[in-house]
Structure 1
Amino acid sequence: MSTYPPLIPGQTFTYYGQSITWSPLHYTPSQLHPLLYTHDTQADQVLSRLDTLYPPPHDNKKPRDYLPLLLQSLTLQPPDPFLSSFWTHLITLPPFISPPQILRAQKIFYRHLGPIITGLTFQSLLGGLSSPQISTTLSQTNGFSPLTARRRLLQTFTHLLNITSSPDSLFNPKGIGFLSTIRVRLLHASVRRRLLSSLPPESQSPIPLNDLHSLATTLSFSISLTDLSLPRQGIFLSSQEKTDWLQLWKYISHLLGISHPCLNSPVEARAMLESIVVAQIPLTMPFSSTSRRLANNMIYSLTNKPPTFATRNFLRAQARWLNGDEISDGLGIENPGVYYKLLVGTQCCLFVVGHMLWKLMCILPYNTGERWDQMVVEGSKKVVTRRIKEMMMMGRQGVEGEYVTDWWGFTESMDNTGKKKREKRLSVEHKLLVMMVFMIGTVGWMSWILLLGLRRLC
């Protein structure tokens, strides 16, 4: 049982490098504990009802895709009362939803695509593995083994693309974002049922995929990103942007069967996030062997792979930059050295420069700013959609192969037969090295010109 710092309203303490001021909005570990034993029972009932209507084949051991069965059940005559009621609840927009606000939130994703994907990968997902209970559940599902971690990450970001493509993709019952979210909900219920069936009846372990961990996932994709990941990369969103982004994830959590008052405002969400961090991430070091293994599996699965072709040391540097040294040490992520930290710092500088240029262009008159913003959003959307589709297709066909980065930073691909391909690409860290040298040279040149000017004035 881990010990906790003094949880007294008004008390400020540092927890794994994060300054927390405890307030009445925070929840103590004992207050959060019951959420470990509650879950989405409505989705469980949907699965049971669908299994009754469409009995699974006895010889099929593959997990069922319940979404097509749910859609098929809606055409039954007479309709099934429970499934019809469940579907009506899903397609009815809750009163807190504002379509213009959802559109603004979706644009945030593509406007800050680079830092958001970096933050979600290395802090929300990899950093979340520091919770022993979450890492244990992922280990039981084999979700972050060396061979499957990359595929799971691609599936996660494909879902992100689906829910941010347009408001219609979420509000239309036939929209890809809406349907993929419902599929995730039913998949979680199916996995939870399978894991529960393997537990002994007298087990006192928390329920897999429980309400607390589901809420933690929502917060890691929402307030953790806007308040922690982006600021650590030099991007600071306005209060309106934070509210818009949180509202998008409040609606996603509504579709996933997750509901909690902490999602009403960024302040309440931040307090809940800090409460979960204190309750779920132990002070004992290092973290569990499962957490360390899954974190390094995740880095391994991304090493020398498209689209960045980053080496393991660069990925480690990004993880340590976003999570801090304490959590990274606990996860067994090695310190790659100063060189790679400078490369990550250069990457953050480029993110900041891009953010400042976008802000500058948006204040131009005659709707120039709006056209510029739309061009940035649409351009990012096309690029990331094409890249992820290409990688998913390569994975399905089994032709992704291996990639080796040489000393000069060129990445030469090899197919699954071990034959080298002629095509070579420059890895992201060597692009950053070029940019770092250019930036240092530019600053040095400008400083020299400034000194010459001052000497002439004197």
Structure 2
Amino acid sequence: MATGKMDTKTKPRLKRLNTSFKNPLLDIAWTDYERSVRIKPRELEDLRQMSDSLADECIRALHVKPGSDSLKALDEYVSRPLEDQPSAAPRKFMEQVTTIPDWVDAELVNQGQQVFWKYVLVIGLILTHYSLVIGFAASRVTDILSCTNYFSSVKGTFQRIIETLKFVTDIMRGPEALTPLTGVGWKSTIRVRLLHTQVRLRILAEAEKRPGIYDVEEVGVPINQEDLLGTLCAFSIAVITLLRKIGVYMSPSEVIAYLHFWRFMGYLLGIEDEYCNKLITEAAATAIGDSILNHLVDPDDGSVFITHNLLEALAFRPPFFLPLGVHVAFARLLVGDKVSDSLEIPPSRWYWRTFTRCCLAGLRGLSCFTIFLQQRIGFCMKHIPPLVDYYLKRLWAKDALHKPVACDFVLKFLPHMASEE
């Protein structure tokens, strides 16, 4: 992306422990209730030292090789006679992910999936231009992303976008998609969780071999509980908030259903119940999400590099097929000027800003039309998910040479760290 470098003297650099709840890059207006339920920075620092211990022990026992299907390895392991299972960890992991907690309301989960398809076009815009971008503004998150090689190039970044969209569409396919052992969404979720674990363990193993190249105390355990909870908020409460910002409003019942769905996803992805259980109401989820943003948003050069790769990967490519200037304008509009400046996203030209606002107006109109259809004849839920799935397989999942891009959630790139200088 052709951008002029910002003066590094003017780029905010925040303290790792922000105790004031006044991140200079964010305009967070705390209500009295949100102040009472938000997570304090010291507690968030503790969460950064917490991994997904159940999945960690499972992967250690499975010895999954790079490029191999971790879920298949898990199935094969737990299918053996008990005497042929040296470790009980895989069996305990399988029991956890195949057990539906008592608090899960199947009807609310289904309603949450319906909410996604009801607003799918606008949600897709928010996920790509806000959720991913604001995540990249957290330097301690991009430290981990840089180790995976996924975002080291525009091509690799596009692959990551495709995998993210594939995961989301898999889990949103309907109630049967989340059926333990057989559901396509359930399988994708468990594969993603085990992929996170493989990355975590390999980075920790490499850091142990070469002390000084990765500081667990400073950065946190790779893909820790705060990172997982922050990602969950970016896909749930952030979507609700940003929809309202651009003029699309969920009903109160839709908000509850959408949060309930993602709360269940948090359980399957290995987030501690204590924190998943806080994402019940919009106010509580907002406080949790804002606490994490306030604590983590602190861009560095790695954040800038990955963000620029993301915007270039979106340019002239599906699903939007829009020029780079439009994606820049969307990102600045959704993320805000302060964070955008810190990420060195260039100011948008007036004609791209105008075009972007026209696009949003069109999306609002189209969203109203699909809502009308859904309320009258159930068209959306019957036809849109299969159409999106077909589009994903036939058009989205192709690289620049029109070759299929595999979305199998296996470890393709070995995590690496630069040598200590």
TM-score range, shorter chain: 0.7 to 0.9
Structure 1 residue 253 corresponds to structure 2 residue 266: yes
CA distance in 2, matches of 1:297, 1:268: 33
CA distance in 2, matches of 1:303, 1:358: 26
Structure 1 residue 381 corresponds to structure 2 residue 385: yes
Calculate the TM-score normalised by the size of structure 1: 0.77
Question: What is the CA-CA distance between 1:361 and the residue it aligns to?
Answer: 5.6
Structure 1 residue 48 corresponds to structure 2 residue 60: yes
* 1:50-73 CA-partner distances (Å, limit 9, x unpaired): 12xx8x5xxxxx343211110112
Match of 1:139 among 142, 146, 168: 146
Alignment of 1:282-321 (within 5 A): 282=298, 287-321=299-333
3-state SS of paired residue (1:19)? coil
Q: Which residue of 1 aligns with 2:292?
A: 276
Match of 1:399 among 402, 406, 410: 402
Calculate the TM-score normalised by the size of structure 2: 0.83
Structure 1: gaps spanning 5 or more residues? 57-61, 363-368, 402-458
Alignment of 1:40-439 (within 5 A): 40-51=52-63, 62-78=66-82, 80=85, 81-145=88-152, 146-200=154-208, 201=211, 203=215, 204-205=217-218, 206-227=220-241, 229-259=242-272, 260=275, 261-282=277-298, 287-358=299-370, 369-371=375-377, 374-391=378-395, 393-395=397-399, 398-399=401-402
CA distance in 2, matches of 1:4, 1:92: 38
Question: What is the CA-CA distance between 1:393 and the residue it aligns to?
Answer: 4.8
CA distance in 2, matches of 1:94, 1:340: 47
3-state SS of paired residue (1:263)? coil
3-state SS of paired residue (2:30)? strand
3-state SS of paired residue (1:174)? coil
Q: How many residues are matched?
A: 375
CA distance in 2, matches of 1:344, 1:351: 10
* 1:159-208 CA-partner distances (Å, limit 9, x unpaired): 11110001111024211100110001111000001111121457433111
Query: What one-letter code is carried by the residue in structure 1 that aligns with 2:26?
Result: Y
Q: Which residue of 2 aligns with 1:441?
A: none
Contact 2:19/2:41 (<8 A) preserved: no
Q: Which residue of 2 aligns with 1:438?
A: none
Contact 2:23/2:294 (<8 A) preserved: no
Contact 1:110/1:377 (<8 A) preserved: yes
3-state SS of paired residue (1:125)? helix
Query: What one-letter code is carried by the residue in structure 2 that aligns with 1:343?
Result: F
Question: What is the CA-CA distance between 1:253 and the residue it aligns to?
Answer: 1.0
Structure 2 CA distance for partners of 1:263 and 1:149, relative to 1, 3 Å: same
* 1:209-254 CA-partner distances (Å, limit 9, x unpaired): 0110111000100011112x21122111122111111111111111
Contact 1:17/1:324 (<8 A) preserved: no
Query: What one-letter code is carried by the residue in structure 1 that aligns with 2:165?
Result: F
CA distance in 1, matches of 2:281, 2:311: 33
* 1:121-152 CA-partner distances (Å, limit 9, x unpaired): 11111221111101111111112122200011
3-state SS of paired residue (1:147)? helix
More relative contact order in 1 or in 2 (CA 8 Å, sep 6+)? 2
- What is the root-mean-square deviation in Å for CA atoms of aligned residues? 2.3
3-state SS of paired residue (1:143)? coil
Question: What is the CA-CA distance between 1:48 and the residue it aligns to?
Answer: 1.4
Match of 2:37 among 12, 20, 25: 25
3-state SS of paired residue (2:74)? helix
Query: What one-letter code is carried by the residue in structure 1 that aligns with 2:230?
Result: A
Contact 2:98/2:181 (<8 A) preserved: yes
Query: What one-letter code is carried by the residue in structure 1 that aligns with 2:314?
Result: L
Contact 1:25/1:272 (<8 A) preserved: yes
After superposing the two structures, state which structure 1 stretch, 251-260 or 115-124, moved more.
251-260
* 1:20-67 CA-partner distances (Å, limit 9, x unpaired): 33511112212211011111011111011112xx8x5xxxxx343211
Structure 2 CA distance for partners of 1:294 and 1:393, relative to 1, 3 Å: closer
CA distance in 2, matches of 1:361, 1:45: 48
Structure 2 CA distance for partners of 1:247 and 1:296, relative to 1, 3 Å: same
Contact 2:137/2:303 (<8 A) preserved: yes
Structure 2 CA distance for partners of 1:75 and 1:370, relative to 1, 3 Å: farther
Q: Percent identity?
A: 24
Q: Which residue of 2 aligns with 1:406?
A: none
3-state SS of paired residue (2:150)? coil
Structure 2 CA distance for partners of 1:328 and 1:13, relative to 1, 3 Å: closer
Structure 2 CA distance for partners of 1:375 and 1:83, relative to 1, 3 Å: same
Shift >4 Å, 4+ stretches: 3-7, 12-15, 358-362
CA distance in 2, matches of 1:270, 1:394: 36
